């Protein structure tokens, strides 16, 4: 599979991507990829630094004739989102990604591809190892844990970088130059309850809700994709008088729209047929509702053994109300940039097991006030039902600077090379630029990259021609970096 990818042009970039994708690199499990990147830098005899938070920085001097140009920080994150289809047998901790060429795209066999942000990492690696690409002095910054808290960017201290320009290679549409992004905050609601023995003759069912597209909880939040936790909760609400919940496992990551939810419920034998009929009926209506956005949605009911204990009806009602009343999706559109989502929330995970309930959300906004407005709405909804609520992992957005000097250079270059204007945008995703700007406030920043679709889902794919376009553009940018003042 991967050999076909290695034969694509530009070969240096795709080969570095294939090498990178052979290394397990899930968020908060980056030990192997950090070692891989350190070894890469040292083999090139370049100054290679691992900072206290475990970001990797590799520095390369300017090529002859480019010494008077401003130093450029090339930045991408090492970690990738680990998502796979339920029927895919794959161990992210030990296996490399199984890639293949599918027409004009590169994708993976039943898992996320890691093009987010692996193509950016591979491009930077290609610049570092090059012997014939003109460029100014380069500071390559490979951050960790971007996908689950941005702790690498948050932990990068002042003094490690001297560059005046930062090029973040983490935008997923090749027509865009990104000059702003959303900040975020994790909202977690927890509650304990006393399980009880089911009273009566028991009939138990495993409920499986799957086939939803899922996707990036920022970039895809406006599409109206089905959220597995919200959908399963609608089924619970419609059948709550007929059953007791024993367990729930819905969603997997805060930054991914949940594609699947699984639950065990218990009925009395006399209510079993009614439960199946009512659950199937509401699922059918939901399937019709999402037939355009999620055509592969399916809901399955299977017999299973009766669990020893279940959730009491009173606690069940509180859980259903909490998930129902927690906002999911777009909260507010931007008044400053047409078409941009300002604030949103993703009800990412719902877990119930052995007397413990947990609901995990990721709230995003480019405006701090509206970010906290959404977070506090969630807090109120959860606390009303007796949940304890914690805010954590907050990070700032990146305020757009339409007067950025490097934006002017890159905009002119884009028009000259591709005979059309680039789209100057801000995105509803958590780019690291805003955080990095905290300790490097004078750094001029732009984000761009090749076209990637389906990020954070097993449908993730990278466009081959777009990657070629991105590589050509990057090389031209490096040639045209302004001189030092």
Query: CB burial class (10 A; 0-12, 13-18, 19+) of residue 336?
Result: exposed
Rounded to 5 degrees, φ, ψ at 446 are -140, 145
Helix (H) or strand (E) holding 467: helix 464-479
Q: What is the pLDDT of residues 284-324, one digit of tens each?
A: 999 999 999 999 999 999 999 999 999 999 999 999 999 99
Q: What is the pLDDT of residues 359-416, one digit of tens each?
A: 999 999 988 999 999 999 999 999 999 999 999 989 888 888 889 999 999 999 999 9
**pLDDT at residue 1 greater than cutoff 70:** no
**What's the average model confidence in pLDDT over 445-457?**
95
Residue 336 CB contacts under 8 Å (≥ 6 apart), including other chains: none
* pLDDT value of position 171: 94
How many Cβ atoms are within 10 Å of 234's Cβ, its own excluded? 18
Stated pTM of the model: 0.78
Angle at 271 between CA 266 and CA 276, to 5 degrees: 75
**pLDDT at residue 438 greater than cutoff 90:** no
CA dist., res. 49 & res. 59, Å (int): 9
**What's the average model confidence in pLDDT over 444-455?**
96
Query: CB burial class (10 A; 0-12, 13-18, 19+) of residue 89?
Result: exposed
Active-site residue, 87 included: no
Q: Is the Cβ–Cβ distance between 203 and 311 less than 8 Å?
A: no
* pLDDT value of position 13: 98
**Residue in 30, 116, 139, 146 annotated catalytic:** 146
Q: Residue 470 has which token pair?
A: 């991105």
What are the chain's domains? Answer: 2-181+397-479 (3.40.630.10), 185-395 (3.30.70.360)
CA dist., res. 402 & res. 92, Å (int): 40
pLDDT greater at residue 338 or residue 464: 464
Residues constituting the chain: 485
CA dist., res. 349 & res. 189, Å (int): 10
**Residue in 30, 79, 294, 360 annotated catalytic:** 79
**pLDDT at residue 46 greater than cutoff 70:** yes
Q: Which residues pair with 444 in a beta bridge?
A: 165
**pLDDT at residue 2 greater than cutoff 80:** no
Active-site residue, 336 included: no
Residue 369 CB contacts under 8 Å (≥ 6 apart), including other chains: none
What mean pLDDT is reported for the chain?
96
Strand ranges (E), 326-422: 329-333, 341-353, 356-365, 388-395
Q: Is the Cβ–Cβ distance between 108 and 455 less than 8 Å?
A: no
Q: What angle do the packed helices 405-418 and 464-479 form, to 10 degrees? A: 120
CA dist., res. 14 & res. 257, Å (int): 28
Q: What is the pLDDT of residues 257-274, one digit of tens each?
A: 999 999 999 999 999 999
């Amino acid at each position: 599979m991967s050999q076909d990818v290695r034969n694509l042009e530009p070969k240096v970039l795709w080969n570095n991507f294939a090498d990178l994708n052979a290394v397990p690199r899930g968020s908060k499990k980056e030990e192997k990829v950090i070692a891989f990147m350190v070894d890469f830098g040292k083999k090139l005899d370049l100054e290679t630094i691992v900072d206290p938070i475990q970001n990797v920085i590799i520095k390369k001097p300017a090529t002859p004739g480019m010494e008077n140009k401003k130093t450029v920080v090339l930045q991408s994150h090492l970690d990738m989102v680990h998502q796979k289809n339920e029927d895919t047998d794959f161990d992210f901790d030990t296996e490399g990604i199984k890639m293949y060429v599918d027409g004009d795209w590169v994708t993976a066999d039943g898992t996320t591809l890691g093009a987010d942000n692996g193509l950016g990492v591979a491009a930077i690696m290609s610049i570092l190892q090059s012997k014939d690409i003109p460029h100014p002095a380069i500071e390559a910054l490979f951050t960790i844990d971007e996908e689950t808290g941005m702790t690498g960017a948050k932990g990068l201290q002042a003094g490690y970088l001297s560059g005046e320009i930062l090029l973040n290679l983490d935008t997923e549409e090749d027509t865009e130059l990104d000059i702003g992004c959303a900040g975020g905050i994790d909202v977690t609601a927890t509650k304990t309850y006393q399980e009880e023995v089911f009273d009566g003759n028991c009939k138990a069912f495993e409920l499986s809700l799957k086939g939803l597209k899922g996707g990036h909880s920022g970039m895809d939040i406006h599409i109206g994709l089905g959220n597995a936790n919200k959908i399963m909760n609608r089924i619970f609400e419609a059948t709550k008088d007929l059953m007791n919940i024993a367990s729930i496992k819905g969603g997997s990551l805060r930054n991914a729209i949940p594609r699947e939810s699984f639950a065990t419920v218990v009925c009395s034998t006399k209510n079993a047929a009614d439960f199946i009929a009512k659950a199937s009926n509401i699922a059918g209506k939901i399937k019709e509702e999402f037939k355009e956005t999620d055509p592969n949605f399916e809901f399955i009911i299977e017999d299973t053994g009766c669990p020893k204990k279940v959730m009491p009806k009173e606690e069940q009602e509180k859980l259903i109300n909490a998930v129902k009343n927690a906002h999911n999706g777009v909260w507010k559109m931007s008044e400053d940039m047409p078409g941009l989502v300002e604030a949103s929330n993703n009800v990412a995970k719902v877990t119930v097991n052995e007397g413990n309930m947990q609901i995990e959300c990721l709230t995003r906004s480019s405006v701090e006030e509206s970010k906290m407005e959404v977070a506090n709405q969630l807090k109120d909804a959860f606390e009303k039902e007796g949940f304890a609520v914690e805010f954590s992992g907050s990070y700032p957005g990146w305020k757009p600077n339409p007067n950025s000097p490097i934006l002017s250079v890159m905009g002119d270059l884009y028009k000259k090379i591709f005979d059309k204007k680039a789209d100057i945008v801000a995105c509803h995703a958590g780019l690291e630029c805003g955080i990095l700007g905290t300790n490097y406030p004078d750094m001029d920043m732009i984000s761009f990259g090749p076209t990637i679709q389906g990020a954070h889902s097993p449908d993730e794919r990278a466009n081959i021609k777009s990657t070629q376009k991105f590589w050509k553009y990057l090389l031209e940018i490096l040639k045209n970096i302004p001189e030092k003042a």
